[in-house]
Chain A
């Protein structure tokens, strides 16, 4: 066997160190911490405190496009809780349960500021709604930019 043939038969060397281990992380609802395996993934969900019911001062009839075209103070939303919430400036809160026209921008995780006893402010994201595309089309478009 020639030297060239011997080199061609040689197994290619992996460019990087082989992966030593695998860890699986998922959002788990039952509160289990998990062990990191595929059948028992680590819980990667956010640890939440007790929820508060809160109302916000905004015009529910406004559409998402209205918010997208607004600026300045229109992005600031004041939430009023039923009682003292105990939050501090900079705490992260998850707003959920809004089902109106602007639910896409109100439901999410926000850092709060301007905290008083039973109110806090959040800065909403003024972005266009993410277009919904069929899964098969999304997969085909994935390597669109190289």
Chain B
């Protein structure tokens, strides 16, 4: 995914139970993984038909996202705004249980689904498995960020949450 250029439409095919697409996602200050780009459209085959699972969140006390990007450039210091990103028709499994356990009995990380700063973003037909996103012990509990971190203008949300996600304040 890191080699895919901006302004590209990526179609993800169906997955089967127990065999999802795996991604290392993005986290600030962590090498590897991939980042969203302007104009990138990620289109699955449907909720619960295409599943993307976050894996390899190995740096302790870090917020990971299955799809995300750095919010700013360091030199020169400026905001990293992405325009026209579209994510639709898939399920994102934050999968805390599948992250390496480096401290105690739980992975000391926070796992989110999407982080995006920009304009003209669009999300529809998107399901986030929250049950595996909010859980940790130790210092990382203080650093929990939102599972969806979206900011910008002209954003469109058509979001379907699984029934057990109600009551989490979204």
Interface residues of A (CB under 8 A from B): 15-27, 38, 41, 44-46, 73, 75-76, 89-90, 92, 94, 96, 107-111, 113, 121-125, 127-128, 130-131, 138-139, 141-146
Task: Mark interface residues in B139-162 (1 if CB within 8 Å of A CB, else 0).
Answer: 000000000000000100111111
Smallest beta-carbon distance A42→chain B, Å: 9
CB <8 Å contact, B7 and A18 = yes
CB <8 Å contact, A108 and B162 = no
CB <8 Å contact, B158 and A27 = no
Kindly list chain A residues whose C-beta atoms are within 8 Å of the C-beta of B17.
107
CB <8 Å contact, A142 and B10 = no
Interface size counted on chain B using CB atoms at 8 A: 56
Kindly list chain B residues whose C-beta atoms are within 8 Å of the C-beta of A45.
19
Given A130-B162, A138-B47, decide whether A111 and B55 contact each other with a Cβ distance below 8 A: yes
Interface residues of B (CB under 8 A from A): 4-5, 7-22, 38-39, 41, 46-48, 53, 55-56, 58, 83-84, 95-102, 105-107, 120, 124-125, 129, 131-132, 154, 157-164
Of chain A, the residue at the smallest CB distance from B96 is: A125
A142's partner among B18, B105, B158, B162 (CB-CB below 8 A) is B158
Of chain B, the residue at the smallest CB distance from A96 is: B18
A142→B55 CA distance, assembly (Å): 26
CB <8 Å contact, A138 and B48 = yes
Of chain A, the residue at the smallest CB distance from B49 is: A135
Of chain B, the residue at the smallest CB distance from A38 is: B11
CB <8 Å contact, A75 and B8 = no
Smallest beta-carbon distance B64→chain A, Å: 13
B7's partner among A20, A111, A142 (CB-CB below 8 A) is A20
